[in-house]
Amino acid sequence: MIHIKSLGYSYGNEEVLKDVHLNIPEKTTCAVIGPSGCGKTTLLYILAGLLKGYKGEVYVSGRPLAGVRKETGIILQDGGLLPWKTVGENIALGIYAKRRTKMPASLQVRKEDKRVMQEKIDNVLCELDIKAHCDKFPSQLSGGQKQRAAIARALVTDSDLLLFDEISSALDAVTKEKIQELILRLQQKNGLTLMTITHSIEEAIFLGQQIVVMEKSKIKQIIENPYYGKRMLYSDEAYYELYQVVRTFLYEGEKR
Ligand SMILES: Nc1ncnc2c1ncn2[C@@H]1O[C@H](COP(=O)(O)OP(=O)(O)OP(=O)(O)O)[C@@H](O)[C@H]1O
Ligand SMILES: [Mg+2]
């Protein structure tokens, strides 16, 4: 699904990505972890088609990347909800915006279609436990609720590729686990390709079939993860070993 060859990117004189190579096969997941400022969000912006002027080659779904794709669902680090729309309207926006580009005008207003879409929206609202906040504006939500609304908006569309930037960092531990499980379930059920950026080793192990450890501007190590989708315990020796491997790559060479 994603093929990246010799990717480089600079903001002015600052080279923030250097010679990055990465393959993410279709219907698989990849978790990217690395220190603050190492280039994770920049990588995600490029894959989302939001940054131009990179060096190297990027293929998404077999084609050279050419701007924003309709089938890519993205959540940026700040969630990106529109402040003047309610939670319900923000979520509906993804669906309707996508439908508008795909369907002839005559079909857009079909009652049946609207009913199906509303059902989809309601299901996601319930699954993410934000139905009660549907009519609120983003400014009236907690950080965690905002993030859940943003996740709902990305999940409700018919995407084949999801790009998530630290979606769970503002959430409490219980909600975080519920959301990780929801994402995993949807990814598996719908055969989605997922790249998720995280600062949590546990989340990387739970959500990433590949764990990509970055250091400043570069990929340091790609670890194949046999424990993806499993809730493991530190008392489990194999899990603990993998955790330590990721941790070692993450902190190697760091002054702590
Ligand atoms: N718009 C911009 N203009 C100039 N420099 C930028 C811009 N955005 C990011 N940078 C710089 O590029 C580098 C990589 O930033 P990026 O946001 O990709 O890091 P990150 O790995 O996502 O960090 P974090 O974990 O803190 O979110 C940083 O040094 C940052 O200061
Ligand atoms: Mg970032």
Where are the domains positioned within the chain?
A: 1-71+160-256, 81-158
Instruction: Specify the CATH architecture of the domain 1-71+160-256.
Output: 3-Layer(aba) Sandwich (3.40)
Q: Using the predicted structure, report yes or no on whether residue 28 has a pLDDT greater than 70.
A: yes
pLDDT band of residue 147 (cuts 50, 70, 90) is: confident
Interval 214-243: pLDDT, tens:
999 999 999 999 999 988 777 788 889 999
Nearest CA to ligand 1 atom 4: 11
Nearest CA to ligand 1 atom 1: 11
The one-letter amino acid at 256: R
Percent of the chain having pLDDT more than 90?
Answer: 49
Q: In what order do the strands lie in the sheet with 161-165?
A: 72-75, 161-165, 193-197, 29-33, 210-215, 218-224
Question: How many angstroms separate the alpha carbon of residue 95 from the centre of ligand 1?
Answer: 30
